[in-house]
A and B are shown apart, each in its own frame.
Chain A
């Protein structure tokens, strides 16, 4: 069907916001951020080109190095633990248990809450004077120590605990959908062959669930790069700079430390990292024809 002039104008008017957002916000803002990272802008943006000097400064910045170090620890542990726990929860629920809906709701409800709420609750639970450590000691484990949140070398693991608590239910929901899609014939055949159940999961089901694992892993990973609220609410980057993360580094240097050049260099580094992870994934999906 050919479009009349009238409908053509209508279509264009409907797509105008999308075009505007793409061009001004996404292309424009991204380019500006990248450009700023090549200048020596401090409190106000300027156009004094200094090449890659901000990136050199970044690599020599302790706080940035700590942030990157932390986000790698957090990312690896958070993604693998959430995948593992989420998968186990989904397998458990898939065994035709009683009160399935209730159990599912319990596993998933943390995901509906914000990172600020999550961070504040776990800050309270991990508080060494009155939290879990105190409970363990009052139960008679006199020497019990669980003071990770006040120790610089372990504070980042507290963020992992809170993050995994919040997001495992999401993995469970994705995995459960995948498990429910497994053909019952496979289970019948495995039973005829006398395979134990765990073998079926390890050798047959897990390899079949590549798409579910990929979806969950990508969802979790994008959350990793964005990690900000949790660090602010739970530890505010502390003790000292022990639980700083890249997103917080950017925000603090933009709005408190008035160092736009350095902040945008950090933001650009984040952008490149994300593209390096996401581009192959989107390409893979597009090739599978799932994007339609």
Chain B
């Protein structure tokens, strides 16, 4: 976005209109930052201070006790082992789901874009429609299918489920990318006698690095933030962090430990926030690529 701009739009002088503009930006920025700020300060206060009710005040004596408790000993239902269990579960779900969904999606996108397959457009169009359909339509039959297949609720089941529901977006992403590459590249490889999988692995995937980065960002935040699929398909021993977080906060008996709740909430948001702030413009690229779907 570095193209030269006409002087009229550069407007460096601080006119009243520009003061108004900056005031608007400042106030809206406060609105967006307020929840994050409140989460952080609440998580650093002891309960006695929270009960006094100064939501916005900085902690008098910041302490990480609530964080330690949230991580190691907060109760989710009957067990009190903290949210670290959920964190590890989410990691175990995340890594294979991201890898497999990207492999399958890129291979499908590659086959649909570069190889002339009869019915490719129909298959692709159908996948795009399906991407909009609410999960509730599929969930019950899938639960039955997996229990019939003997998988039940398990780590493998939830990985397959994430691969299935990431399929349309991943396919779209890679299909459009491969279709934008110069076709001569593909033809030259064919003339040299390279086969289908050889071209995919040795030529196309190395060239698709930017799309792989985008796909990793999209899938990582999407799968980490998932709640409903993990709840239904992961099983009691593999519940992801979002589900455990909700259990910690919403099924507490007696007085709520708001500081622990907020620490647990922040811990759950940590990975997507790190991905977001670490990836910068790539995150926006991912949204834009995913938005093509919508």
Contact = CB atoms under 8 A, between A and B. Distances in A.
Nearest to B121: A291
Given A15-B117, A25-B164, A115-B227, A251 B196 contact: no
B140 A233 contact: no
Contacts of A97: 21-22, 25
Contacts of A32: 141
B32 A247 contact: no
B216 to A, nearest CB: 14
A191 to B, nearest CB: 5
Interface string A183-201: 0100110010000000000
A135 to B, nearest CB: 5
Interface string B1-21: 100011011110000001001
B167 interface: yes
Contacts of A247: 134-136
Given A116-B242, A124-B261, A225-B134, A25 B142 contact: yes
A219 interface: yes
Contacts of A76: none
The 8 A-B residue pairs whose C-beta atoms are closest, nearest first, are: A114-B225, A10-B196, A112-B276, A29-B141, A219-B294, A250-B136, A14-B111, A229-B227
A215 to B, nearest CB: 5
Nearest to B191: A1
B29 to A, nearest CB: 5
A103 B136 contact: no
Given A112-B273, A124-B38, A26 B138 contact: yes
Given A6-B195, A169-B32, A233-B246, A274 B134 contact: yes
A89 B25 CA distance: 8
B28 A130 contact: no
Given A109-B32, A121-B35, 10 more contacts: A1-B190, A18-B108, A21-B164, A113-B225, A116-B246, A117-B242, A120-B265, A165-B32, A184-B6, A187-B8
Contact of B29 (A103, A232, A266, A278): A103
A82 to B, nearest CB: 13
A106 B136 contact: no
Nearest to B39: A121
B123 A15 contact: yes
Contacts of A21: 164, 167
B32 A14 contact: no
Contacts of A112: 221, 272-273, 275-276, 283
Contacts of A274: 132-134
Q: Is the interface of A mostly helix, strand, loop or mixed?
A: helix
B288 A120 contact: no
B68 interface: no
A174 B294 CA distance: 11
Interface in A95-131: 95-97, 101, 103, 105-118, 120-125, 129-131
A271 B179 contact: no
A260 interface: yes
B125 interface: yes
B140 A264 contact: yes
Interface in A255-292: 255, 260, 263-264, 266-268, 270-271, 274-275, 278-279, 282, 286, 291-292
Contacts of B9: 95-96, 184, 187
Contacts of B71: none
Interface string A17-42: 11101101110111011001000000
Interface string B131-161: 0111111111110110000000000000000
Q: Is the interface of B mostly helix, strand, loop or mixed?
A: helix
A11 interface: yes
Contacts of A85: 28
Contacts of A187: 6, 8-9
B29 A107 contact: yes
A180 interface: yes
Interface in B27-62: 28-29, 31-36, 38-39, 42, 50-51, 53-56
B140 A263 contact: yes
Given A117-B245, A125-B35, A187-B6, A254 B139 contact: yes
16 contacts: A1-B187, A7-B115, A17-B108, A18-B127, A33-B141, A92-B24, A107-B29, A112-B272, A114-B227, A116-B245, A117-B225, A125-B55, A135-B54, A135-B55, A187-B6, A282-B128
B64 interface: no
A226 interface: yes
A72 interface: no
Given A18-B108, A170-B287, A226 B140 contact: no
B112 A15 contact: yes
Nearest to B12: A96
A270 B134 contact: yes
A131 B55 contact: yes
